[in-house]
């Protein structure tokens, strides 16, 4: 079986660089999808309270029989739960649904400043308490820009999970995160499948006798991103994991670097109104 590289976080913990995302997967569907991912070899699962599928993910984790310390589970605190008492309720609910006594990584899902002002700062303080209590092993953020990171107090987040794919490469934000010793985690790494049809990606895939998805995942790994492609299709779940047996060369990496066209698919964290 492939052995997925690990990335060391600034708190000393390790995260499998390739994980499995489950956004827009119904609770019932999450169980077979995650079961298939675990059977394939993925050990890192990315869910969130707002996805509504933590229970389905938890059922797959439990029935896999895989030892807890071999699994890496991330979930996220939703925007309307940033105040301290709410955040505590949120982590307790997530753990109960997942059937776990701790998650490996807990993220603030969005800064959500338009709707909830500065409440994310309170959430960050609460998360440091959850870490001290052992409810969560590592703490990080998602959809944070430099202006949001600047306002956090205490510990530094270990990761920022942000939209990142070949047509939206976040070059400047990646540099900011590198400078702060914060790992970059790519959400919608395949551009929600829209980047798979790109001609340059297709040519590189042909050259390596690989699929466009494999080329894009490989690109993320070689850039150093933690990457969490989603699929509910068994063959694609396998295909997306089979990315260790080839390498993109410098010309491939340079060609993909040119594909950035600012093609943001999700909300801009600075004006997201949810
Ligand atoms: N923090 C955040 O705010 C945030 C936001 C968005 C996403 N995320 C996380 O990031 C994960 C991944 O992002 P995403 O789900 O938006 O999009 P994605 O992984 O970029 O793309 C998923 C889409 O690509 C298709 N696909 C997957 N592998 C394929 C392959 N080998 N060949 C062809 N098509 C393929 C999937 O189809 P099928 O499923 O039908 O196979 C699905 O339609 C999410 O699941 C979630 O965990 C986080």
Strand runs labelled E in the chain: 6-8, 14-16, 20-21, 44-46, 72-77, 103-108, 136-142, 159-163, 183-187, 226-227
Nearest CA to ligand 1 atom 36: 231
Q: What pTM was computed for the model?
A: 0.98
Q: Helix or strand or coil: residue 16?
A: strand
- Rounded distance from Cα 20 to ligand 1 centre (Å): 9
Q: What is the pLDDT of residues 219-248, one digit of tens each?
A: 999 999 999 999 999 999 999 999 999 999
Percent of the chain with pLDDT over 70: 99
Q: Give the Cα separation of 233 and 49 in Å (integer).
A: 23
Residue 97 in domain: yes
Task: Tell whether ligand 1 has an atom less than 6 A from the beta carbon of residue 13.
Answer: no
Residue 205 is assigned to a structural domain of this protein? no
Ligand 1 pocket check for 192: Cβ under 6 Å: yes
Please choose from 22, 169, 190 the residue to mutate so as to test ligand 1's pocket, defined by most ligand atoms within 8 A of CB: 190
- Does the residue 176 lie in any domain? yes
- In this predicted model, what pLDDT tens digit does every residue of 96-114 receive, in sequence order? 999 999 999 999 999 999 9
**CA 36 to ligand 1 center in whole angstroms:** 16
- CATH code of the domain covering residue 101: 3.20.20.100
Total domains in the chain come to: 1
Check residue 2 and give its pLDDT: 56
Which of helix, strand or coil describes residue 228? coil
| In a domain? residue 114 | yes
Asked whether residue 49 is assigned to any structural domain, the reply reads yes
For residue 203, give both structure tokens. 């040519």
Does residue 228's CB lie within 6 angstroms of at least one atom of ligand 1?
Answer: yes
**d(C-alpha 168, C-alpha 163), whole Å:** 8
User: What does residue 112 show for φ and ψ, rounded to 5 degrees?
Assistant: 55, 45
| pLDDT of 3 | 85
Is position 106 annotated as part of the catalytic site?
Answer: no
Instruction: Given the residues 42, 51, 106, 120, select the one marked as catalytic.
Output: 51
Residue bearing the CA closest to ligand 1, atom 31: 236
For ligand 1, atom 38, which residue shows the shortest CA distance?
Answer: 231
Q: Is 195 in the pocket of ligand 1 (CB under 6 A)?
A: no
Q: Is 187 in the pocket of ligand 1 (CB under 6 A)?
A: yes
Residue 213 domain-assigned (yes or no): no
Which residue do the tokens 């500065």 mark? 118
* pLDDT tens figures, 13-67: 999 999 999 999 999 999 999 999 999 999 999 999 999 999 999 999 999 999 9
Determine the structural domain holding residue 183 and report its residue range: 12-195+223-242
Per-residue pLDDT, averaged over 187-198, amounts to: 98
Ligand 1 centroid to residue 191 C-alpha, Å? 7
Separation of CA 134 and ligand 1 centre (Å): 30
CA nearest ligand 1 atom 48, residue: 187
Measured in Å, residue 167 CA sits from the centre of ligand 1 at 15
Domain-located, residue 16: yes
Residue 34 Cβ contacting ligand 1 at under 6 Å: no
Does ligand 1 lie within 6 Å of residue 214's CB atom? no
189 in a structural domain: yes
Ligand 1 atom at minimal distance to the Cα of residue 76: 1
Q: What single DSSP character describes residue 13?
A: -
């Amino acid at each position: 079986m492939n052995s997925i590289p690990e990335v060391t976080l600034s708190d000393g913990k390790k995260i499998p660089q390739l994980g499995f995302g489950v956004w827009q997967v119904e609770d019932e569907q999450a169980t077979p999808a995650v079961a298939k991912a675990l059977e394939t070899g993925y050990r890192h699962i990315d869910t969130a309270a707002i996805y509504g599928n933590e229970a389905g993910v938890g059922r797959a984790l439990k029935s896999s029989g895989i030892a807890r310390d071999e699994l890496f589970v991330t979930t996220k605190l939703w925007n309307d739960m940033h105040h301290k008492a709410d955040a505590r309720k949120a982590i307790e609910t997530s753990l109960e649904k997942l059937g776990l006594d701790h998650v490996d990584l807990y993220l603030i899902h969005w800064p959500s400043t338009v709707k909830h002002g500065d409440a994310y700062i309170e959430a960050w303080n609460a998360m440091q308490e959850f870490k001290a209590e052992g409810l969560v092993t590592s703490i990080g953020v998602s959809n944070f820009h430099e202006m949001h990171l600047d306002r956090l107090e205490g510990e530094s987040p270990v990761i920022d999970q942000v939209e990142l794919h070949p047509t939206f490469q976040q070059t400047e934000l990646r540099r900011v995160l590198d400078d702060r010793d914060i790992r970059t985690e790519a959400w919608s790494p395949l551009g929600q499948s829209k980047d798979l049809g790109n001609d340059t990606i297709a040519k590189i895939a042909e050259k390596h006798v690989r699929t466009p998805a494999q080329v894009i995942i490989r690109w993320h790994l070689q850039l150093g991103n933690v990457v969490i492609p989603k699929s509910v299709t068994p063959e694609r779940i396998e295909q997306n994991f089979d990315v260790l047996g080839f390498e993109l060369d410098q010309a491939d990496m340079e060609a993909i670097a040119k594909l950035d066209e600012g093609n943001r698919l999700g909300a801009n964290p600075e004006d997201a109104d949810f």
